[in-house]
Structure 1
Amino acid sequence: MCSATDSTNLSVGAKTDFKVGNGFFQRLWVSSLSSTKSADGLGPLFNARSCQRCHLKDGRGHPPAANWPDDDAVSMFLRLSIPPQNEEQRRRLAEHRALTIPEPTYGGQLQDLAIQGDRAEARMHIEYEEKPVLLADGETASLRKPAYTVTNWSYGPPHPELLTSPRGNLVTFWSAPERRVLSHLRWKTAAASLPEAGWRISAHQRQRAARGHAPLDHTSHY
């Protein structure tokens, strides 16, 4: 489902589109001015130089092995927001015209990398607490509970009511038939929760997928 090769059910024209898109997906962008005119425009702040840096080989991201400067969080980032501050913001949230209220200085996503000569917004810091869990067979497993903070703010302190939410970059699905997506789910309860999970699959697509010949539109699930 998640590879850099095109699906066998694509037309010749769609295969060309896929290859062009996959080229953009793998491209390393650079800052202006540069000799590479077709790949410049990076920055000044960013999270990664290419799509594939986050979605390695079209797969899942991962937490950093260590905190900055020993490692960076290329395939993981923090969403930033604040509680609604006025009636207009509360109305926008209630009417679903906005999902969150961005932090006034740093926006809706922490960007922890910057081009040469500029400063990254800040650094994500993760601390883990080991939590013992007793399993049904009597064995004890140790799980890590993460706690997220932000350090090294470069452009002033954030809003005092700052909210953060970690995001790991998950799998991107390209034109996969729904029946194939469902067949890879391990638990039936997960399949039952697809509508609530945010999958953009129409009733018409579901009917055609059940007959085995309808690809999904390019759909990402986070």
Structure 2
Amino acid sequence: MNSLSFLNHELAQFPSPEFALTDPNGLLAIGGDLHPKRLLSAYYNGIFPWFNENDPILWWSPDPRAVFVPGSMQVSRSLKRHIKRHGWRFSVDQAFDRVIENCAKTRIGKEGTWITPDIQLAYKKLHRQHKAHSIEVWEGDELIGGLYGIAIGQVFCGESMFHLKSNASKAAMLMLHQHLLAHKFRLIDAQVMNPHLESLGAKALKRSDFINLLKRFRDIEVASDAWHAKEVYLGF
């Protein structure tokens, strides 16, 4: 039976995603906090927070789920030419705080402005614990795009991306695919399908199938150097 759970501030197990509501799609629980242990427990079980400022914390596990297999992103020749023409550089974990802050700024006034100051603080803490990571896109010394998310075993749970110049967020996504493929990640969780993700090659999976894949890959360790802060290079 679908039901909504109410969480207190004591760290406790989340209900199974199968109990999430169908309307609104995937709403599973309300309340709790953004403690790093609770956040990691959520992602480990296929759940993520998504709420507007001044609202209670809402926890979701939608059905279906948008996913990518690393390396499956559909890349146009025009995007490749654009990246080469502008001489963009890429890095991993060199500017996490700036990435999440830009994701928050560029979403102001848009639907789903969930990257509140509390969310930013929580994910910055996870980054300090080497659990949250970022991809950065640079034009010279200017940060022009990027994305961030959570690594759970061989699964990368994408949270948000931004661009200050056209195609920079797509370029960040392309770099993410290449980086994850090189380090033997098996799945990218993109959460909720939309036309932009679909155009990039995302597929919609039934929640039960997504959870089964998550259970297969979430406890498999990846190379310890996967997220060393460094400059990285696109292979074309």
Q: Greater relative contact order: 1 or 2 (C-alpha under 8 angstroms, separation 6 or more)?
A: 2
Q: Which TM-score applies when normalising by structure 1?
A: 0.22
Structure showing the higher strand proportion among its residues: 2
Q: Which TM-score applies when normalising by structure 2?
A: 0.22
Structure showing the higher helix proportion among its residues: 2
